[in-house]
Amino acid sequence: MTYIRKILKEENVKKIINVIFFLITIAGIGVSIYMNYVDRSIWGDEASLADSFTNRNLITLCLSELENLQTAPVVWLYFEKILTLIFGNSTIVIRWGSTLFFAGAVLLMYLIGRNVFKSQYPFAYSAFVANIPYLLKYSNEFKPYIAEAFFVLLAFYLFYLYKEDKIKLPVLCISWSFLIWCGNPCCFVEGGLILSEIIYSFFEKDYKKIRNIIIAGISIVASFIVYYFFWLKATATSFGMQYYWENSSFPLIPTSLSDLLTIKNLVHLVFRQFKNIELSVLVLTFLSFVYFIWKKNRLIIGLYLGFAVALFASYINMFPVTARLWCFFYPLVALIILYFIESFISGIDYSYRHIVLVFCMAYLICSMNGIVTYSNKDNVYRADEEIKFEIDYLKENIKEDEKIYLYNTSVGVWEYINGYGNTSFGGYDDNVVFGTVYFNNDYDALARKYNYQEELKDMLEYEKMYIVIVHYYDNRIQYLIPALYESGYVSLVSYEYETPLLYYCKNIEDTKTDYSLEIIDQYTDCALTYTTIRISNTGGSYINNRFENIYLKDEENGLTFVLDKVLAPGEYTDVTVSYSSDIKPVFNLYNSYKAIGNSYLEIR
C-alpha cells in the first residue's frame, strides 16, 4: 500500500504521464518512417516537382523557374538534391527530407513546450503534432510543406532565445534572413513577431528594443526582396498559378455575403484537418487569442499577427489559403492551445488542476488517430495514384504487339520510374506512347476545354494497347472512355488501390474480358418465369467497373437487368431475372454500346 501511495505521488504521476506522451511522440515518428518504407508510388504532384529536380544538377537546379508550375524553397531543394546524389533518386530517398523534418518539428515542439512555455508536460506538445493525420500524410511526400513547418518553429524558437539574451541580434538577423530561403511561411511568422515586439515596446517606451527589432526587420525584408525577385516572382505571378489559386484568396476585408461565405469555407478547409476535434480546436484558438491579448503575451500575439500577415499575403493573391500550404499553421496552433490550456487551468484549485489539464491534453492528442490510421499500410497508399502496381502488371503481361499509352497525367509519374524520354518497356522497343492533352482554343492550358477527339485520333492508331491512368481528371475521362468503347473494346485489367489500368483492342477476340453465364435456379409462377443466372468472371479484367455500366440483356426481346456488383477476376454474382413464360430469351452482357463478349445463354 505504501508503494502504491509512493507511485501515486504528484511528481510520479507527472513522470508517468510524460512517459505516455513521450511514447506517443516516438510512435508518431516511427509511423512516419514506416510510411516511407511502404514505398507507395510517387503521385502526380510529386512527379511534377521531380521532373525539374531530377533533370537538373546542383549548378542548374535553381538557375530558372521550375517546370509544371512548381516551386519550392531554394535551401530545401538543395538539401533534397544532395540527399539524392549521395543515396540515389528513389521515391524513398526523395521523401526522407519530409520524414527528417517531421521528426525535427516534433522535437522542436518538445523544446518549445519545455523551455519557452515551461510546461509540466512538454511531451504533450510533441505528441500532439506527432498524431495529426495531415502532418503525418505530408511527412511521406516529396514536398516542402513539413520542412516549412519545421523552419517556422525554428524561427519562433530563435526569437525566444534572442528575447532571453541567449543569442545576439546579429545572430537573429542572419538566422531569420537565411530561414526565409528555407521556407516561405517563415517571413509571415517573423513579420508577426516583429510587429508584436514593436507594438508592445512602443507602449512600454522601450525604444532600444524598437530599434533592434527594426534592424532585424530590415534584414529579413532585404533578404525577402532578393529571394522574391531571384526565385519566387516568376512562378507566383504567372497566369497559370494565379488561375489555379484564384478561389483561394482570403477576403481580408469582406464586402459581401459571398466574401463571408468564402471566409467560412477557407477557415473550414484549414481547420478540418484536425478531424473530429475541428470545432474544439477552432473554439480554443479563438479563446486563446482573447486570453493572450488580455495577458499581453507578446510571443503568442506575435504568432497571431504572423497569421494575419499570411492572410494579407493571401488577400493580395500571393499566398493561397489551402491546407497543404498551411502545414506550418498546425504545429503553431498546437503550441498556442496547449499553452492556453495550461495557463488558464493554472487558476483552478490545485487538487483538480492536473486531472483537468491531463484530460484536456489527452482529448486533443488522442482524438485525431493519425498514428493508428497510418500504421495500416492500406491507408498509406493513395487511390488513383498507385502506378507501381500497373507497372508490375505490365511487366508480367505486356506482349510484343501491344502498346502502352500514357494518359497525360501519368506521363511525369511514369517517366520518373521508367526514365525520362524512354519509349521502351518490358524488353520491347518503342512500345510506349506519350499522351498529349488537346484543347479547343489558344488560351492558357488551365483555361482550355479538353478536346477528346484529337486525343482519340492518336489512340486509335493502335490495334491493342494498355492505357496507364493515374491522377486523372474526371471531366476528361468521361468523354474519352465512352469514345473508345464505340471504336472497340475496353477492359479494366488492374485496379489496385482504385488505380485503373485499361486495355483497349479493336477486335472482340483480343479483349481481356471473359465470363460465363449459367442457370442456377428456375421456376414458373403464373405467367412469369423466374431464372437465377450466375455470372462468373473467367477473364482477366474487372466487369461492371467504374468506367462502364454492365447489364444482362435479352437479345431476343430487349429485356435488361442491371448488375449491382463489380466482378473482379474469379468472382461471380447471381442475378434473378423474370420474363413472360411464353418467350425464349437469349441473355448476354452489354455495356451502353454493345455486347462485351460472346458468352450467350439461350433459354429454350
Q: Kindly report, residue by residue over 566-597, the tens digit of the pLDDT.
A: 999 999 999 999 888 888 899 999 988 888 88
Q: Is the pTM of this model over 0.75?
A: yes
Q: What percent of the chain has pLDDT over 90?
A: 55
DSSP state of 566: -
C-alpha pair distances (Å), 71 with each of 68, 134, 228, 250, 440: 9, 21, 12, 21, 28
127-146 burial code (b ≥16 CB/10 A, e <16):
bbbbbbbbbbbbbbbbbbbb
Residue 523, helix vs strand vs coil: strand
Alpha-carbon Rg for the chain, nearest whole angstrom, is 30
Residue 502 and residue 586 in contact, taking contact as beta carbons nearer than 8 Å: no
Which of 67, 149, 43, 158 is CA-nearest to residue 102?
149
Confidence check: pLDDT of 79 > 60: yes
176-212 burial code (b ≥16 CB/10 A, e <16):
bbebbbbbbbbbbbbbbbbbbbeebbeeeeeeebbeb
Which of 510, 506, 513, 515 is CA-nearest to residue 533?
515
Mean pLDDT of 483-506: 91
CA 353 to chain centre: 39
> Which run of H or E residues covers position 602?
strand 601-602
Confidence check: pLDDT of 443 > 50: no
Cell reading at 144: 516542402
The β-bridge partners of 428 are 425
C-alpha pair distances (Å), 262 with each of 16, 295, 308: 45, 32, 17
Confidence check: pLDDT of 547 > 90: no
In sign, the C-alpha dihedral spanning 229, 230, 236, 241 is positive
Confidence check: pLDDT of 515 > 50: yes
Query: In the prediction, which pLDDT does 456 show?
Result: 82
Mean pLDDT of 306-311: 94
DSSP state of 554: E
pLDDT digits (tens, 9 = 90+) for 185-213: 999 999 999 999 999 888 888 888 888 88
Cell reading at 370: 493519425
Query: In the prediction, which pLDDT does 10 show?
Result: 62
Q: Please state, as a whole number, how many other Cβ atoms lie within 10 Å of the Cβ of residue 512.
A: 21
Distance CA 222, CA 82 (A): 27
Residue in the block written with cell 514593436: 198
Dihedral, CA of residue 71, residue 76, residue 82 and residue 86, to nearest 10: -100
Query: In the prediction, which pLDDT does 3 show?
Result: 47
Backbone angles phi, psi at 240, to 5 degrees: -60, -45
Query: In the prediction, which pLDDT does 240 show?
Result: 65
Q: What share of the chain is helix, strand, coil (3-state, %, to 5)?
A: 55, 10, 30
Query: In the prediction, which pLDDT does 526 show?
Result: 82
Distance CA 116, CA 513 (A): 65
Distance CA 154, CA 175 (A): 10
Mean pLDDT of 118-135: 93
Highest mean pLDDT among 8-12, 148-152, 229-233, 408-412: 148-152
Q: What's at 188, amino acid-wise?
A: F
pLDDT digits (tens, 9 = 90+) for 523-534: 888 888 889 999
Query: In the prediction, which pLDDT does 225 show?
Result: 92
Q: What's at 345, amino acid-wise?
A: I
Please give the residue that has the higher pLDDT: either 526 or 224. 224
Query: In the prediction, which pLDDT does 353 show?
Result: 66
The β-bridge partners of 502 are 467, 492
Mean pLDDT of 120-142: 93
Confidence check: pLDDT of 408 > 90: no
Distance CA 131, CA 112 (A): 17
285-298 burial code (b ≥16 CB/10 A, e <16):
beebbebbeeeebb
Please give the residue that has the higher pLDDT: either 2 or 42. 42
Confidence check: pLDDT of 474 > 70: no
